[in-house]
Structure 1
């Protein structure tokens, strides 16, 4: 049986292969999505990843479809406490960007769709250069202190990390919130391209790194 792994400095322990929910409500309807989620958890998986923007790009969708399906699955299976749930903020059509008020409103909307009172891992989906990093960190820290988010993370950050949530003096000195994960694109099929874009591997004192692209055979 595959053992769980600690995610960065957080207390989250996750299966090494997460299940991405970007197809839920897009190429997979609710029944198909439930079947995928059931198969993944039956195989020992406990790390489900989605975003509030999934799948706004589909004609007729408005975003949040994936979260809604996952929320219904939690309600049907009664297994919320058994899953480490990750979702993202900043790309939903109604909640674009990372202004503090936007992060708070988007988080509340995600909690409603997911039918839960907490998010295990909350990512910034993309950077927002128009918002000071200190404002972003303060907003995320507020969600952690309120018990609505357990750990924070960043997705699609620059190779230098110059605009990542852990780059600013304020973030490094923060007593409450510490980023637990970062997402970068990597797969053996695109190793040359991706390796030039990603930052150094995570260490015990750094956030864990997750990759959305599957390994190529």
Structure 2
């Protein structure tokens, strides 16, 4: 993103930069942080996804996005060894080396789905983590996710392998991605019996358009265990930005197959509620959708996807929004 310069003398006709625009130029003072329970990690309440880095997001755009994200106060980058067949990790690692900012970031990655090291056997996990460390150009992964529920491998083997990586300092803490409540409970029991490091985070799909799968599934177990909830697809693949309302709009959507199911009555009801709240808060629909998530129990940092740096302003404003209980209740009703 081409950063705008601030003239030495502001013109009377020139627009006054917003707080976030100023932050993108000079940096954001005292950005908000939330602690991942059971760790010393404190993260900005919006994590940056590297899912499309190296595939639909160009190398140059990756650098622009990460520069703008950190200038706006962001400090958590979320990727996976399977994203772009490792290209996402490589680009993030290259950017961290150029900026020399690794120690100021919380880096999360996932293992289990890559073609080179599939599954969650001890051998696969160890090899996958070593490969991720090389691509990221770092000596440790702050938060390692198990990217798949590999039921063919006993939890004991997986958890002992992860614990070994934690003991060697290659991983600081770990979590799970897309696991059911029953599997979370089984993993916690296994951790206790083995005396190994407990999991601290869960990344499942969760948004105003995707509530039942999480809230009626693993939510109760996750909250009981005090896990940090890191929702993925918090904007329902872009639907909650309000840009895609008809079948014709899908022609310009990056993920039309995922957005199409939301174009019915419930989707229109949710967008209408978002529009009312956004108008009252003088905010974007995307910002309000993420602010709603940040009000939910256990949610620490929704993981957002952007394809250009200028898409960051709306999502990075979300932690500063303060929806009232009445406004949150209206969103709850519309999305029920």
| TM-score, normalised by the number of residues in structure 1 | 0.89
2:96 to 74, 78, 84: 74
CA 1:96–1:175 in structure 2 vs 1: closer, same or farther (change >3 Å)?
same
Q: In structure 2, what is the equivalent of residue 8 of structure 1? A: 37
Deviation at 1:45, TM superposition (A): 0.5
Conservation of the 8 A alpha-carbon contact between 1:6 and 1:14? yes
Q: How many residues align?
A: 208
Distance 1:79 1:147 in 2: 19
CA 1:42–1:110 in structure 2 vs 1: closer, same or farther (change >3 Å)?
same
Distance 1:168 1:179 in 2: 7
Deviation at 1:178, TM superposition (A): 1.6
Larger radius of gyration: 2
Distance 1:47 1:89 in 2: 18
Q: Which has the higher strand share?
A: 1
Conservation of the 8 A alpha-carbon contact between 1:133 and 1:165? no
Distance 1:14 1:166 in 2: 28
Q: In structure 2, what is the equivalent of residue 17 of structure 1? A: 46
CA 1:118–1:95 in structure 2 vs 1: closer, same or farther (change >3 Å)?
same
SS in 2 for 1:151: strand
Deviation at 1:32, TM superposition (A): 0.4
1:65 to 87, 90, 96: 87
Conservation of the 8 A alpha-carbon contact between 1:52 and 1:89? yes
Deviation at 1:191, TM superposition (A): 2.9
Residue 185 of structure 2 corresponds to residue 156 of structure 1: no
Deviation at 1:94, TM superposition (A): 1.0
Q: What are the equivalent positions in structure 2 for 1:45-56 lying under 5 Å apart?
A: 45-55=74-84
Distance 1:170 1:195 in 2: 24
Deviation at 1:174, TM superposition (A): 4.6
Conservation of the 8 A alpha-carbon contact between 1:165 and 1:171? no
Deviation at 1:29, TM superposition (A): 1.3
Q: Is there any run of 5+ residues in structure 2 with no aligned partner, and where?
A: 1-29, 241-284, 286-336
| TM-score, normalised by the number of residues in structure 2 | 0.59
Residue 116 of structure 2 corresponds to residue 87 of structure 1: no
Distance 2:185 2:107 in 1: 20
Deviation at 1:206, TM superposition (A): 1.8
Q: In structure 2, what is the equivalent of residue 172 of structure 1? A: 192
Distance 1:204 1:153 in 2: 15
Q: What are the equivalent positions in structure 2 for 1:115-194 lying under 5 Å apart?
A: 115-158=137-180, 160=181, 162-164=182-184, 167-194=187-214
CA 1:53–1:194 in structure 2 vs 1: closer, same or farther (change >3 Å)?
same
SS in 2 for 1:88: strand
Q: In structure 2, what is the equivalent of residue 210 of structure 1? A: 230
**1:6-43 deviation per Cα after TM superposition (whole angstroms, max 9, x unaligned):** 11211111111100000100111111001000110000
CA 1:32–1:210 in structure 2 vs 1: closer, same or farther (change >3 Å)?
same
Computed over aligned residues only, the root mean square deviation of the Cα atoms, in angstroms, reads 1.9
Q: In structure 2, what is the equivalent of residue 112 of structure 1? A: 134
CA 1:194–1:180 in structure 2 vs 1: closer, same or farther (change >3 Å)?
closer
Distance 2:132 2:185 in 1: 21
Distance 2:221 2:228 in 1: 8
CA 1:192–1:154 in structure 2 vs 1: closer, same or farther (change >3 Å)?
closer
Deviation at 1:201, TM superposition (A): 7.3
